[in-house]
Amino acid sequence: MKISEKVFVITGAGNGIGREISLQMLQKNARVAGVDISTKALLETQKLAGAEDDTFLPVKLDITDREKVSELPEKIIQHFGTVDGLINNAGIIQQFIPVNELSLEDADRVFRVNFYGSLYMTKAFLPVFLDRPEAHIINVSSMGGFLPVPGQTLYGASKAALKLFTEGLYAELKATGVRVTVVFPGAIDTNITANSGLEMPKSDTASEFNPMPADKAATIIISGIEKNKFRILVGSDASMLDKMYRVAPKFATDFITKKMKSLLIN
């Protein structure tokens, strides 16, 4: 799908990859409804874009609120007249601890944001998209969605659920005008740890995987959207580990466990 003159809804638009996708889509003459839990962050995105409400609409919304999410399509259509695409980008990580030490409340929170939030948004917009000549749903999973990462097991499980949900949705919608894409970012330079209400543990792991700048990640994602790609791998780490895991899953699991071991808080 070409971006120009399209209307996209982007969750997590207040910072990180979501902000950068919003900025670059606006530069490509799209209109964007930026969704985030923080009004302040959305207004910062709008200011950086130099955009008015007629091109960037800031929408404060908790995507885990099913009732509020169900009201969003009508709000977007009333404002822009239409809607063409949805990018489910918002996500949080868990505390860097083993499953045995992770509370069920924290596990539930991760799934509500990463999986159910995306499910609610998709269910809200899909009936509208099916009536459009063409539309696009993009779900941002993670490298951790196809490769287990110790200390992020519930985060990975939520992103793996989103991966399979997206692939199933693709299969169901092949005969329609709705395109579906799943994105697998590797290490990206964002504030996801702080935005998840966590502190990054001291570790030398960062030297192993140099994070990609968020603006470069956004460029790769947008290019993939315009090419209607089924899968978008973002970063050399994601590409390398994707190949490794498909060829030798146990070896890949042992490899990432060794690399990420120092992140676990004991």
Task: Tell how strand 31-36 and strand 212-213 pair up.
Answer: unpaired
Q: Confidence band (pLDDT; 50, 70, 90) for 201?
A: low
Residue 1 lies in a domain: no
Q: Give the pLDDT score at 205.
A: 47
Domain membership of residue 89 (yes or no) is yes
pLDDT band at 199 (very low <50, low <70, confident <90, very high): low
Q: Specify whether 155 is catalytic.
A: yes
List, in order, residues 6 or more apart from 65 with CB less than 8 Å away. Answer: none
What is the number of structural domains in the chain? 1
Q: Is the pLDDT of residue 132 over 60?
A: yes
pLDDT category at 190 given cuts 50, 70, 90 is confident
Is residue 83 in a domain?
yes
The tokens of 110 are what?
């991760």
In the set 116, 120, 155, 170, the catalytic residue is 155
| pLDDT for res 228 | 97
The reply to whether 23 falls in a domain is: yes
Distance separating alpha carbons of residues 208 and 16, to the nearest angstrom: 21
Residue 2 covered by a domain: no
CB 84 within 8 A of CB 10: no
Does 121 score more than 80 pLDDT? yes
92-117 pLDDT, tens digit per residue, is: 999 999 999 999 999 999 999 999 99
What is the rounded average pLDDT of the residues 190-207? 56
Query: Would you call 200 helix, strand, or coil by DSSP?
Result: coil
Q: Is the pLDDT of residue 191 over 90?
A: no
Residue 262 has what pLDDT?
A: 67
- Is residue 200 one of the residues assigned to a domain? yes
Q: What does the longest C-alpha to C-alpha distance in the chain come to?
A: 53
Residue 108: what pLDDT? Answer: 97
- Reported for 58-61, long-range contacts at CB under 8 A and 24+ positions apart, including other chains, are 58/13, 58/34, 59/33, 59/34, 59/35, 60/36, 61/35, 61/36, 61/37
In the predicted structure, residue 204 carries a pLDDT above the cut 50: no
Residue 33 lies in a domain: yes
CATH number, domain containing residue 53: 3.40.50.720
Percent of the chain with pLDDT over 70: 91
Q: What is the pLDDT, as a whole number, of residue 195? A: 58
Domain hosting residue 165, numbered range: 7-263
